Structure 1
């Protein structure tokens, strides 16, 4: 696997990031993020790669990619996301700056997650 993200395409960076998350290699995953990375999702937001990666280490989500669309510094992934007890279909829009992920916007139907929390 390449570690020099400046020479990788945006698609290669995002796919390497997802692969590292799936393998629970959080140290490697974090290297694909800018320090100022922002996350916006249906159930909340995070500012900074450290806060985001801290959450990812706790949740240990698994991504089953269905479709990848890339254009310039933007990559959109459609996936089934195993959230530990519930699997949802979602979409993530990754934007890169300087060869690293600088923002992530995620959309999905939160009802299965909210229903699981009620139990």
Structure 2
């Protein structure tokens, strides 16, 4: 994949898996490098506009992801995973969209009842 500026970047799949790996390692600086500044996050329990807002929450929650299956289609990556949310482990699905080598949107769905 090549950006408009001509720089070579990894596939969407590579970018997303690098992002998840960095989150699991609590390497938030590396995870931040995988996302666009204007990241849009939509989840069951709310949404975040902007990478800074997203990472403020992620640094407090320190979630751990156990990937079960990955599906890719161009710039879209879908992952089924168990997310360890401290109070419960929740089977979830995340849809990641990558533009110019950076994740610019994340949508996560799961059954929130164990958390409520």
How far is 1:6 from its partner? 4.4
The residue aligned with 1:34 is: 36
TM-score normalised by L of structure 1: 0.90
Q: What is the RMSD of the two structures over their aligned residues, measured on CA atoms?
A: 1.0
Matches within 5 A, 1:52-71: 52-71=54-73
Greater per-residue helix proportion: 1
1:4-35, Cα deviation, whole Å (9 max, x unpaired): x9420000000000000000000000000000
What runs of 5+ residues in structure 2 fail to find an aligned partner?
1-6
What runs of 5+ residues in structure 1 fail to find an aligned partner?
115-119
For residue 104 of structure 2, the aligned residue among 102, 105, 108 is: 102
Separation in 2 of the partners of 1:27 and 1:54?
12
Distance 1:111 1:6, change over 3 A: farther
Say how many residue pairs are matched.
110
TM-score normalised by L of structure 2: 0.92
How far is 1:85 from its partner? 2.3
